Amino acid sequence: MQDTPSPSARPIIAWSDILLVGHEQIDADHRRLFEIADRLHAGIREAGKDMLVRDVMGELMDYTLTHFAREEAMMKAAGFPGLQDHRFEHELITYRLRNLHRDADSGREGLAGQLEVFLDRWLARHILTSDAQIAIALRDAQAAHSAG
């Protein structure tokens, strides 16, 4: 019987074109989030990289907040009707990310597995569902503006 690799030994969920929502800025932001997360995962796997992990975790937190603010501003400008619900999802993701940040600061074990769950359950699923809807609404708003 083959042992299941530990979370830190498994490859982390990676950026894939399946995550593209069709909006240039949003897709660029999402790609950047996954690049930061990949660096974070690499740091977690390497022993003695606690400072790097804390720094990159802070970078992931900062960029996520920047992205959410940019996305919410675009939704507001386009009159996106689901803005409040989407903002609530952002708050939930931010809460989860703050917990990961706290765990990184405390050096708590299991951060690699938690990061994997965060990227899969929170970030990737949010992109594939909620953010895909935003991209459609933004394209529709742009088309209406161009036609008008």
Nearest to 29 by CA among 41, 42, 15, 39: 15
User: Cα–Cα distance between 31 and 21 in angstroms, integer?
Assistant: 11
How many beta carbons lie within 10 A of that of residue 29, not counting itself? Answer: 19
For residues 106, 48, 39, 59, the Cα torsion angle rounded to the nearest 10 degrees is 40
Secondary structure (3-state) at 128: helix
Q: Which two tokens stand for residue 112?
A: 């690699």
Identify which of 90, 67, 81, 70 has the alpha carbon closest to the alpha carbon of residue 137.
81
Rounded to an integer, what is the distance from CA 72 to the centroid of its chain? 15
- pTM of the predicted protein model: 0.82
DSSP-assigned letters across all residues of 15-27: --GGG--S-HHHH
DSSP strands (E only) in 11-128: none
Q: Give per-residue pLDDT as tens, 84-141.
A: 999 999 999 999 899 888 887 777 777 777 877 887 778 888 998 999 989 888 888 8
Report pLDDT digits (tens) over 45-54: 776 667 778 8
